[in-house]
Amino acid sequence: MYLSILENILKMITKDYITDLKHKGKDNIAKLVSMQRDVGSINFILENLGQLPNDFNADFLYNLLEHNHAQVRLNAVRNIGKLNGNFDIKRLYSLYQHETDTGVRREIVSSIGRQRKHENKPLLFSFLKDTDPKIICQAIRGLLVFENDKEVEENLRPLVNHENEMVRTVIYKEYFAKEKSNKNTLPHTETYDFLKNVIVNADVLEALKFVPDESVHLTFTSPPYYNARDYSIYPSYQTYLEFLEKVFIETHRVTKEGRFLIVNTSPIIIPRVSRSHSSKRYPIPFDLHPYLVKNGWEFIDDIVWLKPEASVKNRIGGFMQHRKPLGYKPNSVTEYLMVYRKSSEKLLDWNIRSYDYKTVEESKVADGYETTNVWKIDPCFDKVHSAIFPVELCKRVIQYYSYVGDLVFDPFGGSGTMGRTAKALDRLFFLTEQEPKYFEYMQSKQRTQTLFNERETKFLTLEQFKETTI
């Protein structure tokens, strides 16, 4: 009777109507669905079923598992999952075995997981061997509800070495990060006095041996350009990359949880040996990237530093004359600022909430900030150091990626631009620089400029630095 009226108003199926119908007879929804001629209406009904009454006749839902539209199968699985307590797990599992749609497969695993039944554990363990990482993560979710369950832990812990990064992250967060965070470290916003406004004249790897874990809030640096400048000579490109890998592994260790590393590099060119050879170009940012992510740096952004064409070396001159294809060599007007975050199970919000109200207010970025990842900034030329940061570049990085009072680190200090800018923006700095001539240059800048003077800057040898750390 109810349904014959319904037949006349089929075109007006509403959510309220479905709810009403559901409670007025255990077979009503099955009948309503059977009357539909289009997939959209079936899905609408299935998506608006809400909670299912205890006496609900779900046979039609099992039949819909054979429907040729994936969304219908998915909605059928989702509703079967809502059946209080007893649903036919064998039928869901048999669908899982031949289903090709990843969403439906995931929903099957999710529905079985949501049952929270101990007897389903072996099935959930078997899903851990699926080839689709999303299925594995779903099965992990279903298993994690069994807290302090030895069998579950034995099956999940080994997945920390799983080939898929999403799976590894979930397991790491669940079992390993908690153990790690029990370590005794300083509060997130604080650092050690012996690192505040200190410049050490040493190889960065030597100096970092004396820097404790999790003491730095931000690292911004421009590493040596392989063998393109006189201050850095490496026996091979591979040696160079491995040296940088070591530096950034150590930087990772000393960086506070969830904080940033920004590396300024660009492809470089090593001039040809003679006219019978060609020059060689090394794509440093791209070659360095895998080393960083492998060692726990999560890639966040690529910022392009755009320079005026007149400020860069002219490579297009030859082509302008001959115009022959293949001989095209564009002027390189960009460098990269590759932005990474120390992988953390904590969200950025956690980092931000570590600061008090006053610090957050004082650190807020004023109007006029850059809204794109292309930063147009003029380069800076210096009579002593051949590759210094423009102050504007440091300013943006410091303002966008640190809070007032934070410790910023530059392992390749050079002329100290990063330190001076940090100071001017009420941050603290820690720099290392290997070359005595640049270290002395920084000291001379202290004498001529006020920035370093406002608060005492310590210029230390490695030995002196060691003494302060003991």
Ligand X SMILES: C[S@@+](CC[C@H](N)C(=O)[O-])C[C@H]1O[C@@H](n2cnc3c(N)ncnc32)[C@H](O)[C@@H]1O
State the residues that interact with ligand X by CB under 6 A: 203-204, 222, 224, 231-232, 385, 387-389, 412, 414-415, 417, 432-435, 438
Contact 160, 174 (CB under 8 A): no
Contact 213, 259 (CB under 8 A): no
Smallest gap from residue 427 Cβ to ligand X (A): 16
Q: Which is nearer to ligand X, 102 or 311 (CB)?
A: 311
Q: Which is nearer to ligand X, 206 or 345 (CB)?
A: 206
Q: Which is nearer to ligand X, 355 or 438 (CB)?
A: 438
In the chain, helix, strand, coil percent, each to 5?
Answer: 50, 15, 40
Measured at CB, which residue is nearest to ligand X? 414
Smallest gap from residue 193 Cβ to ligand X (A): 23
Closest to 256 (Cα-Cα) out of 369, 166, 342:
342
Smallest gap from residue 339 Cβ to ligand X (A): 16
Instruction: Measure the CA–CA gap between 104 and 72, rounded to whole angstroms.
Output: 9
Smallest gap from residue 451 Cβ to ligand X (A): 14
Smallest gap from residue 152 Cβ to ligand X (A): 47
Q: Which is nearer to ligand X, 17 or 231 (CB)?
A: 231
User: Apex CA 220: angle with CA 440 and CA 236, to 5°?
Assistant: 75
For residue 402, the SS3 value is coil
**CA dist 388 to 89, 199, 304, 366, 379, Å?**
66, 16, 17, 25, 8
Alpha helices in 220-356 (DSSP H): 237-254, 284-294, 317-322, 348-353
Q: Which is nearer to ligand X, 13 or 247 (CB)?
A: 247
Q: Which is nearer to ligand X, 81 or 414 (CB)?
A: 414
Q: Which is nearer to ligand X, 113 or 224 (CB)?
A: 224
Instruction: Measure the CA–CA gap between 261 and 338, rounded to whole angstroms.
Output: 8
The rounded radius of gyration (Å) of the Cα atoms in the chain is 31
Q: Where are the strands (E) in 173-276, listed by range?
A: 198-201, 216-221, 255-265, 268-270
Q: Which is nearer to ligand X, 105 or 385 (CB)?
A: 385
Closest to 268 (Cα-Cα) out of 326, 231, 229, 221:
229
Smallest gap from residue 221 Cβ to ligand X (A): 7
Instruction: Measure the CA–CA gap between 83 and 58, rounded to whole angstroms.
Output: 8
Smallest gap from residue 395 Cβ to ligand X (A): 12
Smallest gap from residue 383 Cβ to ligand X (A): 12
Contact 400, 369 (CB under 8 A): yes
Closest to 67 (Cα-Cα) out of 83, 45, 89, 50:
45
Phi, psi of 468 (to 5 degrees): -70, -20
Smallest gap from residue 201 Cβ to ligand X (A): 9
**CA dist 194 to 190, 214, 244, 430, 462, Å?**
12, 14, 25, 10, 13
Q: Which is nearer to ligand X, 172 or 243 (CB)?
A: 243
**CA dist 343 to 254, 298, 350, 407, 423, Å?**
13, 5, 13, 19, 27
**CA dist 444 to 414, 438, 450, Å?**
13, 10, 11
Smallest gap from residue 285 Cβ to ligand X (A): 14
Smallest gap from residue 231 Cβ to ligand X (A): 4
Closest to 331 (Cα-Cα) out of 308, 359, 299:
308
Q: Which is nearer to ligand X, 111 or 417 (CB)?
A: 417
